[in-house]
Structure 1
């Protein structure tokens, strides 16, 4: 997938869009932050007044000093309380924002076309939805806790400085733009490297996912060293980007600290000179120095966490890039299919290709009557699975139209269309749950007796009962603790339980032994009665009873007819058939 480039400003505006929903919480956070800053900034003034109550030996006003100390203690307690409240509000706000972002990502993921997942690396997508969102979560919490309070501190400190001594306030304000421009200049470059780091982290995650998923194959071909070498290369690239990003971001803090220290020194020098001239009391000078420190602290706080903030924005840009992927077009008016579906399917002048420059299916026409069993055969790459993808509406045709019971596909509600089909693929899929829940995945209101009956028809009840907990046994991810044949039997039982109007069997018995296959074929024949079925098969012995066999080559039907009729034609089908049964 081509990576979209987002500026920091665009990412920040997108974050604000998510934050609009929580206006009251943002206002509460702002109010608590305002109170915290105001209370904390009153302490230097009180400290200065306290110092002025000690003008010299024997002249100390201890009663006045004690009152000031009590007020300072009370303010300190209130400041800590409001600070705690603000942190709680910000924590809630940040995690709600991230929760919304995760929910939107999962929702958006369901709306993307299958073509997107064909091009996207699974590991990189997982990295966006997990690691990048987690990085964003940490950054948004840090931003809420420090950024808003830092801005308020700068503004309110400047006000207090002007009240105490406007000349010194002007000196600090003249230094401020320089700190800002230095931080912006460096942060902009650090952001580029953090974006690169996030992208390469996704590629590393994708590579790791690929290795873990194919570890048996890698070991079988003794490619462990090659995989380690490739991983080291990916890891080194990510490390270089990380070091470059951290190098730039680490420059901000010492440079801004130097400028702030320079400002503090100017305040101390000029303030001390004014105090010597009697134009400024010692207490006021102490307050000014405290405010100079307070004024510099927000800049130091922000720059000290600039690495995390830049990393967070770069991660957020990858998440927003995913959310900006164009979903399937669902703007057309559709309607739900009636309950009773006859199963009549027709394809009229259908053209389709995964890539525009490479033609696959051209001017494809087919009419299937209700209850017919259609077998689809042909060499690898002829378009068999592509035809199934079109029937399931995983891909829309480039041209032409597909009809179900006379209704154009584009006029049928997608969920309603998918309910009409039951599909068993060569590649099985089981979730990490009990056997019972896996089988009733397509019919969640099914009872245990219904599930048992479907399993008996699929000839998997016997081996299920031999499992440690039977139907209550929890399967590992993708049914890893079952054999391939057992997993496929469970998938067949799942479709039998759904009892759909139309069946699609794409090499559904490829992983089952011959004896069990005969039993399953018998169960299929029983289930196929009165139902339309499309069977993709490589073993031609399994489709001899099909009503019609479509022989495909290069995306077109080159032969069509029953098994016996096609053999009599002495064409391509006969060649395929004889190649499977010739003497070895």
Structure 2
């Protein structure tokens, strides 16, 4: 792998006129104005999220079957407990009645004495006057109830275990899809999206989707099945009381929809503000030293406080409004409970129902309203999860770079002959940048690119690397159109050393070998010696095994630059691109690096973007760019003699400063 893969976002920031990216920012952290988040479309986003579960269809069926078994055992339990209550109550009443008479005789006697209410009550029971509680029958009923509840819990646990695997595998695939998508996104996407915002989508939003699926799916399946099972049992016990309980359903639906509609946009705002706050924090931490140097702590704190306040307001509103669902469901359930208790009591008094049946029905009413309340409370979790899913889907739907050609072509030679044939490119159609450039860079040549800021120097390099596609014309490498090569093949033949260095958390040896993972220890040390890394590595306690942090904070800026140069040296590319690569090293080290680069450039094409003209005097060809056009080209001496744009640039750097006399 070449140096060009170090840091794509920072390696080649999109430049429009004036050196700014399409979003008006300087590179990836410059596009601070985020696109306005559109209103969340719950239905399609939720449907698409459910579509991610399609590969788990078989396991989802297993989850449903386990839930059916668990709920079936659970809803039978109250019926058995009601029978146990009937046995206890009938035993107590029977014990109080005189032995030797029948139930019918007792009832007839009560009616004859005018106690019709008590007679109606006893007529709905099964009594054996003179006998007490049938403990044998009661024990059998309670044992079965206990067995059913144990089995229900066991199947519920298995269901949760299987569902956990379903959700985690789905999120695993989603993360893999995001990673693959990021690798297919063009550079311009990273130029217009804050890193913190992108990280928030990849981490916070994906985690929120995972938690929402994990917590809501089991509850939804179990709650729906419980509602169906309980309705069946309630109609078997008492159709009248069942109709009273069914009033809960429309009340629940209307209440949930009214509340959810208000909290919908707030959840989108919550996660949008979370992403923007993360972007602001990431930017501040990255430039922490700069903030301190310029004394902008107060401004940073004020910006943070303002955005944090926006997040607080959105989060509080979303959670508060959606949190009203559960209390509302509980209130509706209590009203239904009161209605069932009153009507059920009248039913028992009239002999139409037994006490145990009313007790079972009251339990069923609780079992009925509880899952409805849980479904209502799931609304806020689902809204939050789908809001995050929509943000993830917007990333997955972002426009991708064009696919690599199939079959792709590849140069048979590896000399690095690069040609520009009538190349034109612009970031936007109404602002032309590079127009009709023709250029030939021969193997072994060093081509320097100079010009004022925003002239298009870095853009020219971006086009070589295919970070952007041409509007017209073509670029060839060793005779092959780079548009007909795969990007990996093209960039594997190029090495890039940037002004902004990038090191990852690992040893010095691993950082150098990043340019060629299969390199031997001898190759690594040879590259280190050639680029003068070896001389400072030996001064470190652990030498090449010294572990660097991800910012390379335990080595100096110049040493970090030397490490990135060694990385490119090890890759041995056919085309070498140096973007102000020696700007962070001292003058003496710069001389040494220039010598090392001379060896590296043998039989290879080198492009050097430079502002210090003293570093490119020996270049074989110097291109002077202005406003995206090559206005001059030639050697250092030829351009000075021409007295044009290069002559003016050179004099501006080396002429004595002019002071105005007052």
Same structural fold, with TM-score higher than 0.5 when normalized by the shorter chain: yes
Which residue does the alignment assign to 1:9? 43
Listed one character per residue, the Cα deviations across residues 537-556 of structure 1 (whole Å, up to 9, x for unaligned) are 11112111211111111110
Structure-1 separation of matches of 2:489 and 2:211: 41
Structure-2 separation of matches of 1:334 and 1:507: 36
* 1:300 equivalent in alignment to 2:334: no
Secondary structure at the counterpart of residue 400 of structure 1: strand
Report deviation, 1:56: 3.8
* 1:482 equivalent in alignment to 2:555: yes
Query: Which aligned pairs between 1:403-442 and structure 2 lie closer than 5 A?
Result: 403-442=476-515
1:365/1:334 CA distance change after superposition, 3 Å = farther
Structure-2 separation of matches of 1:326 and 1:205: 24
Which residue does the alignment assign to 1:26? 60
Of the candidates 179, 183, 191, which is equivalent to residue 118 of structure 1? 191
Secondary structure at the counterpart of residue 496 of structure 2: strand
Structure-2 separation of matches of 1:359 and 1:167: 78
Listed one character per residue, the Cα deviations across residues 62-104 of structure 1 (whole Å, up to 9, x for unaligned) are 1000011111111122122112111211222222221111111
Query: Which aligned pairs between 1:324-343 and structure 2 lie closer than 5 A?
Result: 324-330=397-403, 332-338=405-411, 340-343=413-416
Which residue does the alignment assign to 1:241? 314
Query: Which aligned pairs between 1:185-200 and structure 2 lie closer than 5 A?
Result: 185-200=258-273
Listed one character per residue, the Cα deviations across residues 25-72 of structure 1 (whole Å, up to 9, x for unaligned) are 211111111111111111100011111112142331110000111111
Report deviation, 1:336: 4.3
Of the candidates 161, 165, 170, which is equivalent to residue 92 of structure 1? 165
Q: Is the 8 A contact 1:485 1:513 kept in 2?
A: yes
Structure-2 separation of matches of 1:308 and 1:17: 18
Of the candidates 516, 523, 526, which is equivalent to residue 596 of structure 2? 523
Listed one character per residue, the Cα deviations across residues 324-369 of structure 1 (whole Å, up to 9, x for unaligned) are 1111110643514145323221212222222333222122221222
Structure-2 separation of matches of 1:287 and 1:494: 76
Q: Is the 8 A contact 1:11 1:317 kept in 2?
A: yes
Cα RMSD of the aligned pairs, angstroms, is: 1.5
Secondary structure at the counterpart of residue 366 of structure 1: strand
Report deviation, 1:5: 4.3
Structure-2 separation of matches of 1:332 and 1:340: 20
* 1:177 equivalent in alignment to 2:253: no
Structure-2 separation of matches of 1:451 and 1:370: 25
Structure-2 separation of matches of 1:250 and 1:38: 30
* 1:147 equivalent in alignment to 2:220: yes
Which residue does the alignment assign to 1:369? 442
Structure-2 separation of matches of 1:19 and 1:4: 25
Q: Is the 8 A contact 1:334 1:413 kept in 2?
A: no
Larger radius of gyration: 2
Q: Report the TM-score when normalising by structure 2.
A: 0.86
Q: Is the 8 A contact 2:455 2:628 kept in 1?
A: yes
Q: How many residues align?
A: 584
Structure-1 separation of matches of 2:460 and 2:152: 68
Which residue does the alignment assign to 1:389? 462
Structure-2 separation of matches of 1:87 and 1:250: 25
Gaps of 5+ in 2: 1-33, 96-131, 658-662
Which residue does the alignment assign to 2:614? 541
* 1:503 equivalent in alignment to 2:576: yes
Report deviation, 1:275: 1.3
Secondary structure at the counterpart of residue 551 of structure 2: helix
Q: Is the 8 A contact 2:411 2:478 kept in 1?
A: no
Q: Is the 8 A contact 1:439 1:494 kept in 2?
A: yes
Q: Is the 8 A contact 2:40 2:264 kept in 1?
A: no
